Amino acid sequence: MNMSKENIINLFYNEHLKVKEIAEKIHTSSAYITKIVKQDTRYLQEKNLRQAVSKDKRKKDQNKFIKEKRELKRIDDNYSFVQAQHFQASKELSKSNRLSNENYRKWNYSAYNYNPFKKRYEFDSNLGRSYDVPKYIKERCN
């Protein structure tokens, strides 16, 4: 396919094809296309326009990359947090078949009131206590 210089200039300036794309389309070298395009008076203006478009595209792509990277970091952080919680729960559950009195009190914190005179937690008698629920739990000294 043989194209005239006017067609090459039209493809470059009006359709905004790249030199390589024009060269492949008309089966000729990129150097030949560049030579023809550079002879036109609009070349510097078109070059500056293409640079500006390219700069905007790079900026948008960089912002997109940063946004995706932050999202992946957030997902990884959430996964790590859930994994740590799972590990802690597994550790606590594998210690014994029975929940310690202190852990039971922490789990049912609203059911126990602290008595500072006796230095212990006392079960609220208004709630109704079954036989396996501790009535008193001594304060643990750290």
Structure confidence by residue, pLDDT tens digits, 61-78:
999 999 999 999 999 999
pLDDT band for 129, please (50, 70, 90 cuts). confident
Extents of the domains making up the chain = 1-40, 55-95, 101-138
pLDDT at position 1 is 46
pLDDT band for 96, please (50, 70, 90 cuts). low
pLDDT at residue 97 greater than cutoff 80: no
Calpha distance 109→89 (Å, rounded)? 19
Question: Phi and psi at residue 42, in whole multiples of 5°?
Answer: -85, 0
pLDDT at position 35 is 93
10 Å CB burial of residue 30 (0-12, 13-18, 19+) is middle
The answer, as to whether pTM is greater than 0.85, is no
pLDDT at residue 12 greater than cutoff 80: yes
Name the more confident of 102 and 142. Answer: 102
Q: Which amino acid is at 117?
A: F
